[in-house]
Chain A
Amino acid sequence: MMYFMFLFGFCFVFWMVGVSCNPSPYYGVLSLVLGAASGCGVLVGMGGSFMSLVLFLIYLGGMLVVFAYSSALVAEPYPVGWGSLGGLVYVVGFVLLVSGLVIMGSFLYGVEGFGEATADGVGLYVIRLDFSGVSWFYYYGSVMFLISGWGLLLTLFVVLEMVRGLSCGTLHSI
């Protein structure tokens, strides 16, 4: 079981590195899908099964589809992937960078105890943190909820304003 957790964690970091070091946004979005799926696996292992389901549905099913369509707008006729030598140099460099940072971080903060904390309640106290957290959002966190909702509405209008105008606007390829 610990090997499963390690595998999910490693895949998460690897695919996230793949997002940043990909020469083409098409393969970057694919890498993001796989990385988000591995992140869901990590969440399940921590005991947040509901969180993981919500992440899969909303993030992967909703927002990532939007990312994919947006990246299709910046279309390249011949996208460069990891098959070429240039892409491989990117991957090796970024993996070295990330592993170097993790080693440095382990000197500062320590990596023992990885995977010990879970989000489940223990003993008689059987409130599941991830389920009840959603209801907390609507009551105790109502102001922050409203502000977050306003922020999302603002982002929608800002993006619509920035891409408005077909070929006369910001994005000349539309």
Chain B
Amino acid sequence: MNPYASMIITSSLIMGPLLTVSSNHWILAWTGLEISTLAIIPLIAKQHHPRAIEAATKYFLTQATASTLILFSSIMNAWTLGQWDITQMSNNTSCIVLTTALAIKLGLAPFHFWLPEVLQGTTTMTALILTTWQKLAPLSLLVMTSQSLNTPLMLALGLTSALTGGWYGLNQTQLRKIMASSSIAHLGWMTTILTLSPKLTLLTFYTYTIMTSTTFLMIKTLETNMMSVMMTSWTKLPTLNTMMMLTLMSLAGLPPLTGFMPKWLILQELTKQHMFIMATAMALISLLSLFFYLRISYYTTITLPPNSTNYLQQWRHKTNKKPYLAMMTMLSVTLLPITPTLLTIP
């Protein structure tokens, strides 16, 4: 890409969600969302093959619709209440329209259909940006308006998303689609606890970001995107293989890894609010996600290595090692014992 264009696009990509997160006025929040949408479109379509263009088109259409709905809900709120403050959304209709809009933006079920196809159509690093950085702005809007939002609607969205994420990933062998379904499921957990404890939503988001970043960086280091190729990639970096399994189990939410922490705290909060059936349902539904994480771990780490190979080896190119991958892996695997410290993060 032209360096000037690349500079403007990258700085806008950083600036967009930061504008939304730091805003108190709906217009500024909407502007930040639009800037982040526009800035990532050329990154999705960077390779210019038809699948990437299709992914960029799908992303643009869904996000533009959601931005329009956000604008509509904020204008409706301003019309009835006379003020544009994000934290004072008292009009019920605009709250419901806003929830729908943010669900489309985040990729919650039943508006999740764009996410796997957009992630599959683009490169690994752009998929990483799409699942982590781009979720920051809509999630911050949800947290800022969480006291006005409808709890049963949030619970319904969360349960459906966890179910859809788990079920969708069961039939996938492409790693980017698996990560998309992991994103849908984790966002489901985040919206479940949103109205009850927004702090836990943010904590889940932070841990999810670290774990997903680690997984994507590992996928990028192994230079593969299919489960079939990843099975025989352990010869490239054997240590990475072990860490891959631990990171995937952390994403699944198994103790004693980091991913267990948000799920544990969410289930505790749900039981404190006497929502026992919801807590049991969420815990059981996350078993679906566990299955496909376990399947990848089984085929990559547990079965074949480290033994003498009697299958066709992959070409071992110069591995582009990422120096921060080790730190991210440690964060995504070993944070459970310091849960009380992490609870102090606002």
Contact = CB atoms under 8 A, between A and B. Distances in A.
Interface of A: 144, 147-148, 150-151, 153-155, 157-158, 160-162, 165, 168-170
Given A160-B5, A161-B9, A165-B48, A154 B39 contact: yes
A154 B35 contact: yes
Interface in B1-45: 1-2, 4-5, 8-9, 12, 15, 19, 27-28, 31, 34-35, 38-39, 41-42, 45
Contacts of A153: 8
A131 B34 CA distance: 28
Given A161-B42, A162-B42, A150 B12 contact: yes
B53 interface: yes
B18 to A, nearest CB: 11
Most buried by B among A147, A148, A157: A157
Most buried by B among A154, A165, A168: A154
B28 A161 contact: no
A154 B16 CA distance: 11
15 contacts: A147-B28, A147-B31, A150-B15, A154-B9, A154-B35, A154-B39, A155-B38, A157-B8, A157-B9, A158-B9, A158-B39, A162-B56, A165-B48, A170-B45, A170-B53
Interface size class of B (residues with CB under 8 A): 20 to 34
A170 B41 contact: no
Interface in B35-83: 35, 38-39, 41-42, 45, 48, 53, 56
Contacts of A157: 4-5, 8-9
Interface of B: 1-2, 4-5, 8-9, 12, 15, 19, 27-28, 31, 34-35, 38-39, 41-42, 45, 48, 53, 56
Given A150-B15, A157-B4, A157-B9, 16 more contacts: A147-B28, A147-B31, A147-B35, A150-B35, A151-B31, A151-B35, A154-B8, A154-B12, A154-B35, A158-B39, A158-B42, A160-B5, A162-B56, A165-B48, A168-B48, A169-B48
A146 B119 CA distance: 32
Contacts of B53: 170
Given A154-B12, A157-B4, A162 B45 contact: yes
A151 B39 CA distance: 9
A155 B12 CA distance: 10
